[in-house]
Chain A
Amino acid sequence: MTPQELNELVNSYKVAVEQGQITKDEYVSLIYGINVMEGINDDAEGLLLKEQLNTILNAAINAASLFA
């Protein structure tokens, strides 16, 4: 999820609590969930970068082994 999408979610929760569709308790839980989601996004991004680096390293090792 992009930061913009997360912002849109936060705004929709704000509107919902203002209109009485959710309780304050539920609102707090949803905002807390957004924070956890941001953490998941960051960690997943880190894992994806590591996977890309793994692919590059393996390709480099394979190429080097061809010349050896």
Chain B
Amino acid sequence: MKRLLLVCAIFALSGCTVFDAYFMARYDTNEYALINDIKTKAQVAEENCANNLLVTTQVNELYIKSLEFKNFATHIPRNEDSVKLSNKLLILTKDAKDQFNKSAVSNFYCKAKLEQIVKSADTMQQAIGKKPR
């Protein structure tokens, strides 16, 4: 019964969905390494919230890494899903960069914003890590 439902589900999907899924971009070690780097750097920065100057430098680095991730993912064929994710992470890190560079931020904000980046990067890492080999 489960198999029948599965087959019905596949045929119910549009041709484009099946095509996209079958020919989707494969797992890329560099892509995975970049998102892992962003997550790790955000975790390290979170520990330095007491030092505003240091954490601002680290947040700037996070923005640069996110831009690098976006640039890396952009021209890989059939990689639109990763590009969409990288664009959103870039928005998140840019907002953080702008806020941290504007004035000294509160400890709560520092931890909360970096936690948002860590959680988002973790969500992305899970999805990117499961790409087909």
List A residues at the B interface (Cβ < 8 Å).
1, 9, 12-13, 16, 21-23, 25-26, 29-30, 32-34, 36-37, 39-41, 43-48, 50-51, 53-58, 60
Indicate if the CB atoms of B123 and A54 lie closer than 8 Å.
Answer: no
Determine if A55 and B132 form an interchain contact, defined as CB atoms under 8 angstroms apart. Answer: yes
What is the interface size of chain B, counting residues whose CB is below 8 A from a CB of the partner?
Answer: 38
| A44 surroundings in chain B (CB, below 8 A) | 85, 123-124, 126-127
Interface of B is mostly: helix
| Chain B residues within an 8 Å CB radius of A1 | 119, 123
The reply on B91 being an interface residue by CB < 8 A is: yes
Q: Which residue on A lies nearest to B27, using beta carbons?
A: A51
Provide the B83-120 mask, 1 if CB < 8 A to any CB of A, else 0: 01100110110011001001001101100110010011
Q: Which of B17, B18, B91, B126 contacts A36 (CB 8 A)?
A: B91
Q: How far apart are B19's CB and chain A's nearest CB, in angstroms?
A: 10
Q: Is the CB of B24 within 8 A of A40?
A: no
Nearest-CB residue, chain A, relative to B112: A30
**B53 at the A/B interface (Cβ < 8 Å)?**
no
Task: Annotate B8-49 by CB proximity to A: 1 below 8 A, 0 otherwise.
Answer: 001001000110111010000000000000000000000000
Known: A26-B105, A47-B85, A54-B22. A33 touches B113 (CB 8 A): yes
Which residues of the partner chain A approach B85 to less than 8 Å between Cβ atoms? 40, 43-44, 47
Check B81 against A46 for contact (C-beta < 8 Å).
Answer: yes
B18 touches A40 (CB 8 A): no
The answer to whether A57 touches B21, judged by C-beta atoms less than 8 angstroms apart, is: yes
Q: B132 to A37, Cβ gap below 8 A?
A: no
| Shortest CB distance B6–A (Å) | 7
